[in-house]
Amino acid sequence: MNRKKRKPNRLLAAPPLAEALGRENGFGLLRLTLALAVIFAHAMPLGFGSADLGFTESRGQTNVGAIAVNGFFVLSGLLITRSGVRLSTGRFLWNRAIRILPAFWVCLLLTALVIAPLVAHRQGRLDVFWSDPQGPWQYIRANWGLGVGQWGISGLLNHNPHAGAFNGSVWSLAYEVFCYFAVAALAAIGLFRRSTRWTVALMVAGLYAFMFSIAIDFDLMRAPQYPPTGLPGWQLPFLGGLGMEMLLPLILMFGFGALAELYKDRLRMNAVAAALALVVFLVTARYGGFTMIGLPAFAYLLIWLAARMPRPLTKVGTKVDLSYGVYIYAFPIQQCLTLLALNRHGYAVYTGLSVLLSLVAALFSWYLVEKPALRLKDIGKKKSRPAEAEAPAAAPAAAPAYDDRDAPLADSRS
């Protein structure tokens, strides 16, 4: 009697990441979810003057926005490392630049020259708006290079709980781009090869040990998300000032993602391990040890979700990626909603409007800026000769299991 063989359950199988992570993956949904999570977190301080969502529940360890930023860095670490491995340094940097800078610059210009004048009109300060020493032109000059050199414009938005800041979310872009430069440098000197990848693992382990030595001094290891490191910050061209208390934890999360890519042949995507990671994440977020125990567990959980996402959900973000647009436009939108006193209707209405308008802004950003910019990806590439193109191949080259989809992470970040 013939029995039909049962297909193995995709979610319960435990293949290595290299096998589990195919073109159908959960990166699009995860990035969009993380971007929306930042909106929910910021709604509390921007709309109601209270602590970020999750800060009290975690006993000061973290908040939902900070967790989302860490998630962006994990996913970016994996995807961007893969991009760094397969591309030349010049092509890698070009791809990263056209993915991040055009949309960011358009957002910067719209904030300074459209949103801010409307806010000035609303606040009755349009007469001094253009002449203020901290006016829109200075705002553009101070912030064009990703590093935030000026938060406010012409003294506006002083009514809000987060007084003066027009876009408090974009601070993380400079930190992510710093990680991009690090990937380019490590790839250029050959440290991503199979024979030398252990050096990257050693660097990440050393950074983890250093961060652990800081966290252990806190009661029940309830170190804040960005603990004091005692190290001076860096002032870098284009990226501006980078504080070590933020840079080192974010590099660590980016490093976890990078190691997942470099050791994808060994890292198993195990459902039991993912469930355990979820438990560790939740328990440490409540009781302590979140920064050094809960976040690594969160990193594994995210990567498992990306690899084992149910197929219907893998369609999110494959054609239209709204995550970056949501991230860079949500903060000024929420500030304006507070200016219009729409927060008086309560958290649900205020946050719902924030999400809706951010998605609309992201749609415009994608179709008018981001997608056209991505068409420049292949500029300068040499086209194959007709004879070469027509020549039959002995065997077709295997397509990559997944690609970086040229998406920032993250960029996107609280």
Coil/strand/helix, residue 234: strand
Given this model, what pLDDT does residue 378 score?
Answer: 83
Residue 113: Cβ-neighbour burial (10 angstroms; 0-12, 13-18, 19+)? middle
CA distances in angstroms from 253 to 3, 9, 123, 207, 225, listed in the order given: 47, 30, 41, 10, 12
Give the model's confidence band at 411: pLDDT under 50 very low, under 70 low, under 90 confident, else very high.
very low
Angle (deg, nearest 10), helices 64-86 and 295-308: 60
Distance between CA atoms of residues 244 and 38, nearest Å: 22
Residue 114 has pLDDT above 80, yes or no: yes
Q: Is residue 250 a contact partner of residue 179, using CB atoms and an 8 Å limit?
A: yes
Say whether pLDDT at 405 is over 50. no
In which band, very low, low, confident or very high, does the pLDDT at 394 lie, cut at 50, 70 and 90?
A: very low
- The answer to whether 320 touches 362, Cβ cutoff 8 Å, is no
With a CB cutoff of 8 Å and minimum separation 6, the contacts of 225 are 61, 62, 63, 66, 70, 249, 291
Helix/strand number for the chain, H first, E second: 16, 2
pLDDT in the model for residue 381 = 73
Mean pLDDT of 132-153: 94
- The residues, ordered by sequence, that sit 6+ positions from 294 with a Cβ below 8 Å of its Cβ are 280, 281, 283, 284, 285
Question: In Å, how far from its chain's centre is CA 259?
Answer: 17
- pLDDT band at residue 410, thresholds of 50, 70 and 90? very low
CA 113/CA 118 separation, integer angstroms:
9
**pLDDT for residue 406 is more than 80:** no
Dump pLDDT digits (tens) for 209-237: 999 999 999 888 888 888 888 899 999 99
pLDDT per position as a tens digit, 277-312? 999 999 999 999 999 999 999 999 999 999 999 999
